Structure 1
Amino acid sequence: MAEFIKLYNENPDPRKIAQIVQVLRKGGLVIYPTDTVYGLGCDISNTKALEKIARIKGIKLAKANWSFICADLSNLSDYVKQIDSPTFKLLKRSLPGPYTFILPGNNNLPKEFKKKKTVGIRIPDNNIARALVLALGNPIVSTSIKDDDDILEYTTDPELILEKWDNLVDVVIDGGYGDNVPSTVIDVSDGEYVVVREGKGATNII
């Protein structure tokens, strides 16, 4: 049974954030709000948790293309090779925001992602998501939760999310209704800027 925890984006309760971080540190899975759709995430450094998400998604962990949710650009160099000045400026003016940027990964990537040449970095414009990452002290590996409904691809109601995911995750955060449009994905890994998926973020930033 998942815990259902209400948090407010304007001012997330630090005690509740600390409670959720304890769950993440123990290898728990958390569904949380972002500035786009709700995400399913775990501690980047917990192999068992990463494997759990891979099982739920029905994919091999080595083949997973998940985003790293960061609090800001300060820990970018932990996982990303040095990027040129125009790319950094693009990130700086677009983030926090509804974008996932695909960047060249470096040798510090967790062992589960060592074979990957690139990594998707996401800094949501959502205080709950960023507060979790800050309190955890490292990124959350994240994937968006899909719906079985053909018309509505993403579940937006936290209570319906709880109903569906109750036995699969440890915590569902109620941060209010989510969006049903995902982030815009832009590949900036090799100097060329390529829009991989049009989403909530405007594409005229590149």
Structure 2
Amino acid sequence: MAQYFVIHAENPQTRLIQQAAQLLKQGGILACPTDSSYALVCLMEYKDAQTRIRRLRGVDDEHPFTLICRDLAEIGTYAKVNNSQFRLLKAMTPGAYTFLLEASREVPRRLHHPKRSTIGLRVPQHVVTQTLLEALDCPLLSMTLQLPGEEVPMSVGWEIRESLEHHIEGVIDSDIAHVGATTILDLTQEPPELVRAGVAPWP
């Protein structure tokens, strides 16, 4: 049975954030709000949690995860960023964007794009997500919470609890700004290439 955390969107309760973080540190999966719907999240070191997320989503081993980071410095740890890429990232974070960049050695090869050494990274504009990242002191591996057969991602905490309470370790119930996908930009191209139009504007 998933633990259910009702967390204030602007003033997250420290005790509940710490409890949610502990579930992740133990190898669990959380349903976590972001600035673009909910995501299923786990930590990078837990392969079993990643397999379970793919199974819940109904996707194969080639479907990419996104690395949710606290800030530009953390993106710089997990991706190779040149000066022009940095300027664009600085202008567009935090926000509902996913950036494709060349992965650094800190990212396990199994998490790279199957045909390129890239990974998607983002810095969400959501206080609860940011507070959870601070409590963990590491990034989150994430995949949009869109179940097989559904046309839109899930966005309501209690509905997620009803659907997944026997399949994941925790649900964070909090407000979200948008319901939809992030805007994906491939920054390995010059100029940057729009891969997917989402809730955030481009250009």
Post-superposition offset of 1:73 = 1.0
Contact 2:2 2:161 in 1 (8 A): yes
CA distance in 1, matches of 2:104, 2:65: 16
Aligned to 1:119, the other structure's residue is in SS state strand
* TM-fit CA distance, 1:64: 2.8
Amino acid at match of 1:94: M
Match of 1:87 among 68, 85, 88: 85
Partner residue in 2 for 1:125 = 125
Aligned residue pairs, count: 201
Q: What's the CA shift for 1:78? A: 2.0
Which residue matches 1:106?
104
Deviation at 1:108, TM superposition (A): 1.9
Give the AA of the match of 1:173.
Answer: I
Using the TM superposition, give the Cα deviation of residue 177 of structure 1 relative to its aligned residue in structure 2, in angstroms: 5.2
- Other-structure match for 2:195: 196
- Say whether 1:35 aligns with 2:35: yes
Structure 2 residues not aligned, in runs of 5+? none
Q: Higher mean Cα deviation, 29-38 or 8-17?
A: 8-17
Shift in Å, 1:89: 1.0
Counterpart residue identity of residue 98, structure 1: A
Partners of 2:75 and 2:148 lie apart in 1 by 34
SS at match of 1:203: coil
Question: Runs of at least 4 residues of structure 1 off by over 6 A?
Answer: none
- RMSD between superposed Cα atoms in Å: 1.8
**Does the aligned pair in 2 maintain the 1:44–1:138 contact within 8 Å?**
no
1:103 maps to a residue whose letter is: L
Partners of 2:29 and 2:40 within 8 A in 1: yes
Q: Report the CA distance shift for 1:92/1:51 in structure 2 as closer, same or farther (over 3 A).
A: same
Does residue 169 of structure 2 align to residue 170 of structure 1?
yes
> What SS is found at the alignment partner of 1:142?
strand
CA drift at 1:111: 4.5
- Match status 1:55 vs 2:55: yes
* 2:123 matches 1:145: no
Q: Which runs of 5+ in 1 are unaligned?
A: none
TM-score by length of 1: 0.90
Percent identity, aligned pairs only, is 29
